[in-house]
Amino acid sequence: MTDAPAPLADPHLVYDPVAGDGPKDVVILGSTGSIGTQAIDLVLRHPARFRVTGLSANGSRVDLLAEQARRLGVRTVAVAREDVVPALREALTARYGAGQPLPEILAGPDAATQLAASDCHTVLNGITGSIGLAPTLAALEAGRTLALANKESLIVGGPLVKARAKPGQIIPVDSEHAALFQALAAGTRADVRKLVVTASGGPFRGRTKEELANVTVEDALAHPTWAMGPVITINSATLVNKGLEVIEAHLLYDIPFDRIEVVVHPQSYVHSMVEFTDGSTLAQATPPDMRGPIAIGLGWPERVPDAAPAFDWSKASTWEFFPLDNEAFPSVNLARHVGELAGTAPAVFNAANEECVEAFRAGRLPFNGIMETVTRVVEEHGTPQAGTSLTVPDVLEAETWARARARELTDRTASAEARA
């Protein structure tokens, strides 16, 4: 009988790359996005704890990226879009001053991957989408601590990530998984009966499937609790994000899918819970603010003082919990299914969803059509490539097929509606 595999994320294990005296050197991937900007806010408030050495972004906000680089004094700036390098250099020059040395600039689709392997202690991967996989693997292979906010890289490349990560090397930054990470510190793995992942329910909590048929993009982007990018916000409206988090929890903590439950909690105060075998349930709770989970990712095993607001217990509040409506929101059960299939199935699920979200945003697919189309793509994919022999080319091939098939189906839907 062999021992069970060690969890990818274990609060009892601390992976600490060799670091010198002074602040912890950090690289932030996706610095102009929601996670990146909040991480920079945290770092600027704690200069004795953290020093940012590199920033990466896709290149759509060069002025913000240049200002971040100046304020942080970074060594390297990376952009995915080579065409914005002249504008970035101009923006950097304007902020640093003529004749002043500028940061090194990396450009192209592999720029973030190069930066992830650079000399630092911790890499915060705040990139959105499966393009975060290569930087995740690069950071792990380079021996960096990985503060992981890019759930898609774990979803699409789970076996690849697990093969490269050393015990304690990954610290989760998603609010739900940071919550589980902290609650799990209270007991051993053998003590765990169930993981309970909380969901706000998004903007459509309480609506039936029929009532969701005609919701608009503006409706879906009106999240009641969190301020996030458009793709993540729509994933919260369909609850695809919660399905991805169930797969992520399984991969991070090696807990079977039938012991991972989703519960709707509209206030988003309790970020997730762990039920132990003695009947105790430990909940991690803070007001909704991603700077708390980011601080866990960057600072663990130490906590960062005043990283995020605390509760005011002198004021009354009500916390509610509801079961998930799987008929109106079938995404969680579909995610469990692809998670159990493993291999390339999660990559197909994620890629098809990304294409369908874009089609919905463009007005080519109704809201309910997102999951209907994703379900069909998953079914057509059939038996996935075996997880034990999964390679990066396998993942990329599966994603390419899923995106193409999802586009075919969404185009067909759009054409049918235009004729109607």
Binding-site annotation, residues for NADPH: 32-35, 150, 152, 229
CB 207, CB 247: distance < 8 Å: no
**What string of DSSP letters covers 155-193?**
HHTHHHHHHHPPTT-EEE-SHHHHHHHHHHTTS-GGGEE
Report the alpha-carbon distance of residue 53 to residue 45 in Å, rounded: 16
CB 148, CB 161: distance < 8 Å: no
Q: Which residues are annotated as a binding site?
A: 32-35, 150-152, 174-176, 200, 223, 229, 236, 241-242, 245
Q: Which residues are annotated as a binding site for Mn(2+)?
A: 174, 176, 245
- Phi/psi for 42 (5° steps) reads -65, -45
Q: What 3-state class would DSSP assign to 278?
A: coil
For β-strands 192-199 and 170-172, DSSP reports them as unpaired
CB 294, CB 42: distance < 8 Å: yes
Report the alpha-carbon distance of residue 272 to residue 93 in Å, rounded: 45
Q: What 3-state class would DSSP assign to 85?
A: helix
